[in-house]
Structures are given as C-alpha cells and as structure tokens.
Amino acid sequence: MREVVIVTGASSGIGLAIARRLRAGGYAVHGGALEEGEGCRVLNVRSDESVAAFVRGVTDEAGRIDVLVNNAGFALAGAAEETSMEEARAQLETNFFGAARMVGAVLPFMRRQSGGRIIHVSSGVVVAGGPFHSFYCASKWALEGYAESVAHEVRPFGVRVCIVQPGSFRTGIVRNARHVGRSMEEYSADREAVLRAMERHTVEAPEPEAVARCVEKIIRSRQPRLRYRVGPDVRLSAGLKALLPRGAYEKLVRAYYGLK
C-alpha cells in the first residue's frame, strides 16, 4: 500500500520539488495550493473550511494520511517599523497558523492509525534572523517552538514531528515576496541593499532538490531527528555562530546581506 502524503504549497519552489520527488518514489501525493495546478487541489491554509475540506477529500479518497509536509508560506519584506500589524498578522496567519491548522486537521487520523510523520519546512532564518524580514523570521521561530512542543505530545501515538531548515535555494520566494505598504526613507538604502543581496544569493543558489531528498529521507527513516539543516550556507552559518564571538558573527551576517 502506497503511503499517502499531503504537501502544502506544492505548486512551486520547494513544495513542487518535494511533490515531484515523492511521486517519482511511489508515494500517493496530494498537493495543495491556492490554485489548481500540477497535481494540486485548491487549499488555503488560512481558512478552517478550506483545510477541513481538503483533508476530508484526501481521506475520502485514500482512507488515511501518513505524512503531512507543511510547506505553504510567503515572505514579507520590509523593516519592522514599516510593517503594519495587519501585514504582520497576515504573515503569521499563513506561515504559522496555517501550519498549525493543518496539524490539527490531520492528527486525528494519525492517532487512529498509531503513526505518521509531520514535517515542517522552516528556514535558515532561525539560525540567523534576516534583516527586513522580521515577521517572516518571527513566523518561522514560532513554527519551530510549536513543532518542538507538539513532538512531545504526539510521540506516544507513534507520530513523529520533524523540522527542515533550508538555506538559500533557487526558488521564487524572494522575487515573489510581498512588500509592506509603508516605505520610510530612513530605511530605503539598507532595505534595497538587502533585497539585492537576497536576490543574488537566490539566483546563485542550487535547485531545491536537496530539500526534497531530505524530506524523503525523513519519511523513510525509522528514527528521524527533530531538525535537519539543508544547504551549505545554513550549515556553515550554524557552525560559525557556535564558534565565533557574537560581534564577529554579526559582522559576517551583515556582510552576507550587503549591510555595512
């Protein structure tokens, strides 16, 4: 019997790479996205009704859910002072509450099955918070704290929770980032420098296939770890953060983002 996998945000970038690899590996993949596309049905993780309908559709068709890959999300670009609370709430509603909403919908099925995998696609920003993406960083830090707590709660039911921390990969997350509505002149030069640097790093980055391989590895593992870092940049950053004095490390982070 093929394992049944839900992948959110499966229409592009990392989500699409994960869905394609798992389909090629013989998994029954149910992709969710805001619009129908390659193997995707409509799923809005910000809506209780949309999430419930999507999960019900999967269980009606497949009878079970073995794996949830929480990947749906977007980046919000702008200084913290430029960001309205409405914009900040929208960021967390998708990246954090959307993931929690999906977990709440699939857990009853996984508990009854006495097993399952919940895999959260986080970000390298939990290693080094990125300037001009404060609420994106907040959403990923919140997601990781939530995931670590839930991992303890569901372990007695045979459900394992894992976190994947991708570094920079060649996706549209920077190009398609939402920009805050307020633009303050005081931040303009640094903001533009950071966005240029991030776009350059994304263009030069590898394809997201490595993240897809990591997700497949987690699914196949009998005893998966809580956290997996994927990408040379995030692994190097974590290593340097552990070794260097804080000031020296922060200088490297600022240089990476094009800041003086």
Mean pLDDT of 31-36: 96
Residue 1 above 80 pLDDT?
Answer: no
Distance CA 212, CA 215 (A): 5
pLDDT digits (tens, 9 = 90+) for 130-141: 999 999 999 999
Partner residues linked to 119 by β-bridges: 69, 162
Distance CA 26, CA 24 (A): 5
Please report the pLDDT score of residue 43 as a whole number: 98
Going along the chain from its start, the domains and CATH numbers come out as 4-256 (3.40.50.720)
Percentage of the residues of the chain whose pLDDT score is greater than 70: 100
Global confidence as pTM: 0.95
Mean pLDDT of 108-127: 97
Distance CA 231, CA 176 (A): 21
pLDDT digits (tens, 9 = 90+) for 162-208: 999 999 999 999 999 999 999 999 999 999 999 999 999 999 999 99
Please report the pLDDT score of residue 167 as a whole number: 96
Burial class (CB in 10 A: 0-12, 13-18, 19+), 123: buried
List active site positions.
Answer: 11, 122, 136, 140
Give the end-to-end CA distance of the chain in Å, rounded to a whole number: 56
Mean pLDDT of 28-39: 93
Residue 38 above 90 pLDDT?
Answer: no
Mean pLDDT of 113-117: 97
pLDDT bin (cut points 50, 70, 90) of residue 39 is confident
Percentage of the residues of the chain whose pLDDT score is greater than 90: 98
Mean pLDDT of 115-138: 97
Distance CA 201, CA 223 (A): 33
| Helix extents (H) in the chain | 13-24, 48-62, 85-92, 98-113, 134-154, 185-204, 209-220, 232-243, 246-256
Please report the pLDDT score of residue 260 as a whole number: 84
Mean pLDDT of 62-89: 98
Q: Can you read off the two tokens belonging to residue 192?
A: 């533009």
